[in-house]
Amino acid sequence: MPKQEKAPKQPRQGRVKSPELLFLNEWASRQSKRYRLVQLLGIVFTVSLVVQAWSLANVFSDMVIEGAFSVSVLLIALSALLIRALASFGRERLSASASRSIRYSLRKKILSHLTHLGPSRLRIDEDAALSTRVYEQVDALDDYFSRYKPQLFMVSLIPCVILLAVLPVSFIAFGVFMITAPLVIVFMIFVGHKAAQANRRQFRVLAMLSNQFMDLNQGLAELKRLGRTGQAKQRLSDSASAYQRTTMGVLRLAFLSTATLELFASLSIAMIALYLGLGLLEQLPWDKGLSPVTLTQAFFLLLLAPEFYLPLRQLGNDYHAKQKAEAAATDLIEIFDTPLHTTAQAKSNTETSHLSVVKTHSTSLLTFLKLSWQEGGRSRLAPITNHISEGERIWLSGESGVGKSSLLHLLLGFEEGYQGECFVYDDAFSELDLAAWRARLAWLPQTPEWINGSIRQNLLLGIETPTEQALQEALVKSQCDDFVNALPEGIETKLTELGTGLSGGQMQRLSIARALLSKADVWLLDEPCSGLDEDTASAVLNTLDRASKGKTLLVVSHDTHPIKWADRHWNLTHGALHEQSIEAIA
């Protein structure tokens, strides 16, 4: 009979770690070299600690018994003290450096992930809450990487070394250490579990407060017009009070943990001191007339007792940092769990060949064939069959929820899982080089996004720096030159994220100028007149008409703002796409 192959050994199943701990450990492993140096310095610190205690015990006992001490032993103690201080300083600097590098890399990766998600990031949370995750919750990991992670090694090293040093000296002291140490750890875990729940509540309330604050800023003008600023202020105040209560709850647990751990450690040290005092006086109930330890040994044990509990107490103080980091990691993992768009799209179930589609409209820039999108059993885009020629300007209208914005997001390359076919010239969209395709696009959302900086910085963000003449031509073509030059600092005037100081129409014109400077030949616009009054919307559309000539344009707009200069008008319904006469709407 043929020899049977042995089944491969299954790895031993230990305690399954939570996804949050796996996430934190994965990032900590990226700084393994620094953490190994931290551990090496920890070993040096521990050996110096024991040597220092032994040297000082000899110095003190010699002074009490003989009235003099050995200078060489004192020098050993001072040298050990200096080495401890240097090792401790090095550990702190290396741990802080590791934490800083991890948080920098993590924040960079999160921002990159959110950038590639594009509008899909709003499925995770609102932008204000996401900014809280990127800054507040990434920084919440600092104590975990700089304090808790290094302390885990020390809490296993120092007590074990001290126990080995104490065992030959006194079995009683060894027993006291062994009994009391687990009590500190058990209480630390119990309080830490409560702290984790409190930290998660705190992060949820902070995210809600951030979203409300952003909504209030964006809608402040409308709230003033409606006379509802009082209600908005009260709502924001209630959220701030809730955040204050959750923060105080976290601090209360942290102080309770610290106080209780100090109590346990103090009682344990007192027990050791009482035992040694009675022993030196030869008054132990079970051993009267005899001293179980010498004076040197007694000093040695007394010096080591606080050092035995110190790493446990420090870990207890830092344990809430672990729970806080796990709570923060939960929200960060959610960001990474949101999949990015990939070019490997699901194949179309249509039987129409690639060539037959291209032949239908051989000069088209974009061709759609039964293009639709369903997600979670819900239709987000009805089947579309049509084409857009190069240089053609299309007006896409339809009621809310039919998929107008979804179509733009698909063309931006931020969504996947669509059905049907989409071609750019004769190339399937799923086979495109997305970076090259996006370089051809200019994206104008409903609410243009800005950064804190000058108008010039905002216009040139992410593009090659144009000449001053090209910049001025873009301002003139987008009809921005008049109001920009009228500003006190002109094009160097500072803007905020919300464009404070400029009207909605002026902000939209600046968006058009930015599109012109990008040299993109395909413009995608999502409700450029949203939130504008009739006169301002008409002025913006007239500007867009002059600025977009020669560009391929797909602009989403409701019938309330008809685009009379468009080449064609598409009306999207829940059933299909219909082409209508612009004159009939106008």
Please provide the DSSP assignment of 113-127 as one string: HHHHHGGGGGGT--H
For residue 45, the model assigns a pLDDT of 94
With residues binned 3-state (H G I as helix, E B as strand, rest as coil), the percentages for the chain, rounded to 5, are: 65, 10, 25
Q: Does residue 299 register a pLDDT over 80? A: yes
DSSP state of 429: G
Q: Does residue 288 register a pLDDT over 80? A: no
For residue 102, the model assigns a pLDDT of 94
18 contact partners, CB below 8 Å, separation of at least 6: 326
| φ, ψ of residue 382 in degrees (nearest 5) | -70, 155
For residue 33, the model assigns a pLDDT of 93
What is the bridge-based pairing of β-strands 393-397 and 568-572?
A: parallel
For residue 422, the model assigns a pLDDT of 84
For residue 2, the model assigns a pLDDT of 41
CA distance 393 to 396: 10
Q: What angle do CA 253, 257, 258 make, to 5 degrees?
A: 120
Q: Does residue 167 register a pLDDT over 80? A: yes
For residue 377, the model assigns a pLDDT of 63
Q: What is the pLDDT of residues 317-331, one digit of tens each?
A: 677 778 788 888 888
At 447, the amino acid letter reads: T
| 153: enclosing H helix or E strand | helix 149-166
Q: What is the pLDDT of residues 491-516, one digit of tens each?
A: 888 887 666 667 778 888 888 888 88
Q: What is the pLDDT of residues 397-453, one digit of tens each?
A: 888 777 788 888 888 887 766 778 888 888 888 788 888 888 888 888 877 777 788
Q: Rounded mean pLDDT of 180-203?
A: 68
For residue 94, the model assigns a pLDDT of 95
Sign of the torsion formed by the C-alpha atoms of 462, 467, 471 and 477: negative
The model's confidence at residue 92, banded by pLDDT at 50, 70 and 90, is very high
Q: When comparing pLDDT for 127 and 383, which is higher?
A: 383
- List the single range of 50-54, 468-472, 502-506, 524-528 with lowest mean pLDDT: 502-506
Per DSSP, the residues of 309-332 read HHHHHHHHHHHHHHHHHHHHHHHH
Q: Does residue 69 register a pLDDT over 80? A: no
First-last CA distance in the chain: 88
- List the single range of 175-179, 343-347, 416-420 with lowest mean pLDDT: 343-347
Q: Which residue bears the tokens 């949370």?
A: 125
DSSP state of 16: P
Q: Does residue 344 register a pLDDT over 70? A: no
Q: When comparing pLDDT for 568 and 558, which is higher?
A: 568
Q: What is the pLDDT of residues 96-116, one digit of tens each?
A: 999 999 999 999 999 888 887
CATH code 1.20.1560.10 for 103-337:
yes
CATH code 3.40.50.300 for 362-585:
yes
Q: What is the pLDDT of residues 350-362, one digit of tens each?
A: 444 444 444 455 5
The model's confidence at residue 76, banded by pLDDT at 50, 70 and 90, is very high
pLDDT > 70: percent of the chain: 84
For residue 5, the model assigns a pLDDT of 40
Q: When comparing pLDDT for 448 and 7, which is higher?
A: 448
Q: Rounded mean pLDDT of 187-204?
A: 66
107 contact partners, CB below 8 Å, separation of at least 6: 134, 135, 138
On average, the pLDDT of the chain sits at 79
Selection from 194, 195, 177 nearest residue 265 by Cα: 177
Q: Rounded mean pLDDT of 384-404?
A: 84
CATH 3.40.50.300 domain residues, the chain? 362-585
For residue 101, the model assigns a pLDDT of 94
Q: What is the pLDDT of residues 22-57, one digit of tens each?
A: 899 899 999 999 999 999 999 999 999 999 999 998
Q: Does residue 1 register a pLDDT over 50? A: no
